[in-house]
């Protein structure tokens, strides 16, 4: 399997680890932004093989983890309305809201369905004209274009029974907010390869320059991660505050321009509350006013719902890289995948779940 086996070739790991060790001359904190990267660092045991002076901090790049509690509560409230089908990607269904999750709502009789693509939700709307189909659209710049396409398709088909509960977030404003907050000392970043596949990396060039840190656009396979780490460490040691692209087989500087155009046709920038991180200006996407009839929160009157975060869960610190999951007193005790206190223990990309599943034996 090309692009799987060759990027998991263990025989090429040793020389890369040696090169990383040789490059690290002082304590370095490097943050990988994407939860997929976090999981593979732990799954392949890479974090444990790195030199002691190099600490990997896990960033806020888990889409369901940063989705605000209100949105989950809104989705559940909508799901309880008669003749509504709520659809979403799979790992959204187990994220705890204030009282229950979408799976819990389903067990109470709500019609909640997993789809692989929002376009399948549009198909459902076409098939069930007598019911309202809502797609819970969360995620970063990776999922926003296809969600945008779903809205455009619903408009083209004149489907008045499709709507989007949107809570898309953008990576660069979050990195900016983390660096501006300054409570965590981050010397460099591995930028999320798939977000950059869509957006390119010009936005990251401005960030690198503004904050004086190197950013390496990095893939997800073990060798991608090791090469990305090596590039970042070298740049940190030599003081190069610029963007490097490790993931050239997928990412170009400009990104996927048609996808960006589709996003812009449907979404406008907005301030967005991030679970654990608080309100970040211009860090989210909302439906453009001319498409507001597809806004599920408005259609079902749930936009005003508010929620208060649990005080037991320290997900906010985990998402900022200020706390490693095993340092949390609830980790693997009160908080586990059967009884998660927060989203990072549930999601396939959550840092707490990564430690729970791959913690040292």
Partner 1 sequence: MPIGLSCPLPLAQYPKITMAHGGGGRLMHMLIDELFTTAFGKTEEHDGATLEVEGGRIAITTDSFVVKPLFFPGGNIGTLAVNGTVNDLAACGAVPKALTAGFILEEGLPTETLWRVVLSMAAAAEVVGVPIVTGDTKVIEHRDGNGLFINTTGLGMVADGVSIAAGRARPGDRVLINGSIAAHGVAVMSVREGLKFESDLKSDCAPLAEMVQRLLTAVGPTAVHVLRDPTRGGVATTLCEISCAAHCCVVIHEETVPVADGAMGACEILGLDPLYVANEGKMLIIVAPDSADAALATLRAHPDGKDAAIIGEVVESPQGRVIGRNTFGGERVLDMHSGEQLPRIC
What HEC string does 117-163 produce? CHHHHHHHHHHCCCCEEEEEEEECCCCHHHHHHHHHHHHHCCCCCEE
Among residue numbers 48 through 77, which ones bind partner 1 (CB under 8 A)? 48-49, 63-64
Our CB check for partner 1 shows the closer of 8 and 265 to be 8
Q: Are 262 and 227 in contact (CB under 8 A)?
A: no
List C-alpha distances in Å: 83 to 109, 121, 157. Answer: 11, 15, 21
- Per the CB < 8 A criterion, the answer to whether 80 and 104 are in contact is no
Q: Select from 50, 57, 110, 115 the one that contacts partner 1 (CB under 8 A).
A: 115
- Least separation in angstroms between residue 84's CB and partner 1 is 15
Q: Identify which of residues 175 and 354 has a Cβ nearer to partner 1 in the complex.
A: 354
Q: Does 337 bind partner 1 (CB under 8 A)?
A: yes
Provide the residue count of the chain: 361
* Closest distance to partner 1 from the beta carbon of 45 (Å): 3
Query: Which DSSP state fits 192?
Result: E
Considering the complex, what minimum distance in angstroms separates the CB of residue 348 from partner 1?
A: 4
- Considering only residues 84-113, where is the footprint of partner 1 by CB under 8 A? 87, 89-94, 103-104, 106-108, 113
Distance CA 209, CA 129 (A): 51
- 32 versus 91: smaller Cβ distance to partner 1: 91
Question: What 3-state DSSP class applies to 194?
Answer: helix
The rounded distance, in Å, linking the Cα atoms of 328 and 98 is 21
Among 86, 124, 167, 235, binds partner 1 (CB under 8 A): 124
Enumerate binding residues for partner 1 (CB under 8 A): 1, 4, 8, 10, 13, 36, 42-46, 48-49, 63-64, 87, 89-94, 103-104, 106-108, 113-116, 120-121, 124, 138-140, 142-143, 194, 222, 337-339, 347-349, 356-361
């Amino acid at each position: 399997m090309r692009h799987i086996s060759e990027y998991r070739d263990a025989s090429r790991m040793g020389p890369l680890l040696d090169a990383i060790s040789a490059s690290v001359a002082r304590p370095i904190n490097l943050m990988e932004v994407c939860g997929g990267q976090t999981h593979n660092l732990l799954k392949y045991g890479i974090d444990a093989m790195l030199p002691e002076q190099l600490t990997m901090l896990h960033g806020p790049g888990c889409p369901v983890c940063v989705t605000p509690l209100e949105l989950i509560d809104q989705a559940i409230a909508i799901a309880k309305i008669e003749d509504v089908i709520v659809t979403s990607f799979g790992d959204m269904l187990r994220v705890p809201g204030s009282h229950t999750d979408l799976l819990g709502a389903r067990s109470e009789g709500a019609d909640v369905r997993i789809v692989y693509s929002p376009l399948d939700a549009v198909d459902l709307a076409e098939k069930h004209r007598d019911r309202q189909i809502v797609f819970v659209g969360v995620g970063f710049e990776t999922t926003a274009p296809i969600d945008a396409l779903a809205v455009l398709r619903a408009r083209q088909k004149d489907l008045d029974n499709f709507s989007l509960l949107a809570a898309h977030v953008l990576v660069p404003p979050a990195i900016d907010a983390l660096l501006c907050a300054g409570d965590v000392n981050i010397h460099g970043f591995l930028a999320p390869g798939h977000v950059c596949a869509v957006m390119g990396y010009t936005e990251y060039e401005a960030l690198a320059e503004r904050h004086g840190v190197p950013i390496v656009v990095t893939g997800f396979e073990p060798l991608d991660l090791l090469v990305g780490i090596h590039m970042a460490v070298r740049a940190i040691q030599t003081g190069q505050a610029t963007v490097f692209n490790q993931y050239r087989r997928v990412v170009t500087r400009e990104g996927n321009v048609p996808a960006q155009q589709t996003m812009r046709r449907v979404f406008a920038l907005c301030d967005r509350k991030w679970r654990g991180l608080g309100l970040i200006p211009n860090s989210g996407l909302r439906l453009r006013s001319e498409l507001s009839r597809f806004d599920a929160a408005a259609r079902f009157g749930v936009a005003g719902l508010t929620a208060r975060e649990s005080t037991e869960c320290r997900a906010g610190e985990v998402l900022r890289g200020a706390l490693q999951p095993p340092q949390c007193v609830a980790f693997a005790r009160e908080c586990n995948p059967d009884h998660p206190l927060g989203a990072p223990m549930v999601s396939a990309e959550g840092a707490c779940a990564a430690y729970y599943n791959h913690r040292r034996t």
